[in-house]
Structure 1
Amino acid sequence: MGEAPLISWEWIAANLADPIGTRLLEHLQLSVIPLLLGLLIALPVGIACVRWRSLYPATLTAVNVVYAIPSIALFFLLLPYTSFSLWTAVIPLTLYTLAILVPNVVDGLHHVPEHVRQAATAMGFGPLRQLLRVELPIAVPVIVAGLRVAAVATISMVSVASLVGLGGLGQLILTEGFRRQFPTPIVVGTVLSVLLAFCADALLVLLQRLLTPWRRERAAGPVDEPEQPR
């Protein structure tokens, strides 16, 4: 008897909707929610760290300490309080995004030139209007760069949540693959995780381009008139 093939296309066709599609949607949900929550937390925290600079060292230390804790340990620590709910994965993954997003928000706001702030003040912009209309738009490329890193890291860490039965593509790899010694779900789960990371990165690049149209115009530069022959 020959060895079992690495890919069973019959199994993929028979299980495309469930469990493959179901696990993919779970993985997407467990990735998007922590990213959105992390951004909602990182923005005000980063702004506060820029306004009151003495807060930044302590904040950076705190988020880095949390990031150093193994994800599987946080999942198990939360189980007695959140059981096998979505929050068992969302809370740790959100905390991990802060170690990436908070420094990027701070760095992005530090990239705003001082003369731009002074010009906005001279035009009568108040602090809130200046933040929303001037500082955050200029900081968008650096913030989105952090989001891209956080997205890929989160998508990869969601797979670990399968060890506590929280679904996602990791559950496909673990339950359908390793436990049954069946390679096809392992390959499918791995490939879909990589594709999900690529798609998330591409969407964030597109989002940055939509939010910063002036960068495209500047990159294009002025069109030179052709020199007339003499």
Structure 2
Amino acid sequence: MPQSHQQSLVQLSQISKGFNDGDQYHLVLDCLDLIIQQAETVALTGPSGSGKSTLLNIIGGFEYPDTGELQLQGADCRKWHDPQWSRFRRQHLGVVFQQFNLLTPLNVRDNILFPLSLLGQKWNDWCDYLLQKLAITELAQRPIEQLSGGQQQRVAIARALAHRPALLLADEPTGNLDAEAAEEVMQLLCKLAADAGTAILMVTHSDSAAAHMQRRWHLQQGKVHE
């Protein structure tokens, strides 16, 4: 894969990961070399159990590779411990899950404010812009449990982008939505990530969702094909 002159946002070199299942060893990721540039959008597809979520978790520091090197914004993550990972996630990472994972005691506004408060930041014009673009301004004071699935996913996107992260990891972000809501959410996600200068790596089984990304990686039998 050709190197660009700019510093890569994510660079994986010879990353491998496997799991023991009883006395069987399953190699899930096999010597992967992958690069994501600043503000680039990538869909990650592949069969169930092929290791898509594992790859996402390694990039987010939730799991560690068995071998290989991960660099984030030019920094070698092999020497990082929990404090460095926590700091990176707070400052530079946004995550959108299929299950939304919103904080149910809090209302919409406080959910979106949460990642900012961890950084000592306050509500700002960008937050208002997210609410407006995601059509949830009128829901700002509403408790999470009173929202529909589509509304909850919009709140999850606003929360993930509130601190303008360098990278957004999305795991099946439209998996719980009907086709029309999914299409709308994907358009909004791409537009707002572009406005924030945020790169996206998105796991999806949906061809229509994958089509919104600039690039597509297909993970099968431990290897990624583009």
Structures share fold, TM-score greater than 0.5: no
- Using the size of structure 1 for normalisation, the TM-score is 0.24
Higher helix share: 1
State which structure, 1 or 2, has the greater radius of gyration over its C-alpha atoms.
1
Higher strand share: 2
Higher RCO (Cα < 8 Å, 6 or more apart): 2
